Amino acid sequence: MPELPEVETIKRFLQKNLIGKKILVIKILVHKQFHGMSEKAINTSIKQVERKGKVIYLELSNKQFLSFHLKMTGQILFRSINSPNANNLPNRHTRIFIEFKDGASLFFNDLRMFGWVKLTDKPEVPKGPDVLNHEFTETYLKQITNSTNKLIKPFLLDQDKLAGIGNIYANDSLWEAHINPQRKCKTLKAVEIKNLYKAINKIITEAIKYKGSSAKDKMYVLPDGTRGGYQNRFRVYERSGLPCLRDKTIIRTIKIGGRGTFYCPKCQI
DNA sequence: CTGCGGTCCTGAAGGC
DNA sequence: TGCCTTCAGGACCGCA
């Protein structure tokens, strides 16, 4: 599940490789995953690559925006003429791809077909502030947690309140902050909000540094096919039955709102 | 308005 | 071996 660190890693890769490229053709293999008039993008060039939350978007020279949401199993893969293995794409999971004038191609692969690509006049982005944006402050976190009746774990996944966190980083951030995922938002004390704010920033920053998580059974890779490294640094995610990294208590897994939730029953209060 | 649960979708894994 | 069921989950939708 590509979340902020994975999408940020992809964004940085594409900024280095896509700016200025001219779109020759867009091939749509699965129509339900593409929204908009793809022909409007033909012969435009890529002006900028941006991200908000888990959405990555390309600003085109005709002022249109091509937005991508990878959902669970989406991948964005880039191949130039000189790329090794340039011939193994498109493959059976390719749903949409773009060919550029210089011979390079961008592939949108998505095994489960939950993701989408949209061509619109404005980028198709979530409402909440991005975790890396200056609008996301400790005061803001305090304010939004204080005005909901949700549990903290599902709350962190609400992209209309805070954009970028998914299941992996919600689990790890709550461990880092010593907070039990079943806590009600409203019961969190000021010092706990402070710790959670610091934890989110620490975990997200570290995950970006390691180029995201290529977890077991997950599809995420960089656009050149290489893997991220944060999966080797998971605090609790996918560590069910293993000892807590702080106190050796066995990590427990439960379901909250239908989502797998991992936590230490001793040190996450 | 909020919160919750069903739904989409494929492939891997487990049961018998 | 092979068939069937279960599970994974982001975000949209309909409902109370």
Instruction: Return d(Cα A18, Cα A21) in angstroms, integer.
Output: 6
Structure tokens at A47: 């002006």
Tell me the per-residue pLDDT of A208-260, one tens digit each, with 9 for 90 and over.
999 999 987 678 999 999 999 999 999 999 999 999 999 999 999 999 998 99
Any strand C atom closer than 7 Å to A257 CB: no
The rounded mean pLDDT for chain A is: 95
User: Mapping DSSP to helix (H, G, I), strand (E, B) and coil, where does residue A252 land?
Assistant: strand
DSSP state of A81: T
Q: Give Cα separations from A168 to A49, A113, A199 (angstroms).
A: 25, 20, 13
Note the CA–C1' distance, A160 to C16, in angstroms: 22
Instruction: Return d(Cα A151, Cα A162) in angstroms, integer.
Output: 15
Q: How many other CB atoms are found less than 10 A from the CB of residue A43? A: 14
User: Mapping DSSP to helix (H, G, I), strand (E, B) and coil, where does residue A246 land?
Assistant: coil
Nearest residue, CA→C1' of C11? A71
CB of A172 closer than 8 Å to CB of A203: yes
Question: Which residue numbers of A are catalytic?
Answer: 2-3, 54, 259
Residue type, A104: A
Tell me the per-residue pLDDT of A125-176, one tens digit each, with 9 for 90 and over.
999 999 999 999 999 999 999 999 999 999 999 999 999 999 999 999 999 9
Instruction: Return d(Cα A82, Cα A154) in angstroms, integer.
Output: 44
Instruction: Return d(Cα A95, Cα A31) in angstroms, integer.
Output: 8
Note the strand B nucleotides within 7 A of protein beta carbons. Answer: 2-12
CB of A111 closer than 8 Å to CB of A73: yes
CB of A150 closer than 8 Å to CB of A133: no
**Residues in chain A, total:** 269
Tell me the per-residue pLDDT of A31-83, one tens digit each, with 9 for 90 and over.
999 999 999 999 999 999 999 999 999 999 999 999 999 999 999 999 998 88
Four-residue CA torsion sign, A251, A254, A257, A258 = positive
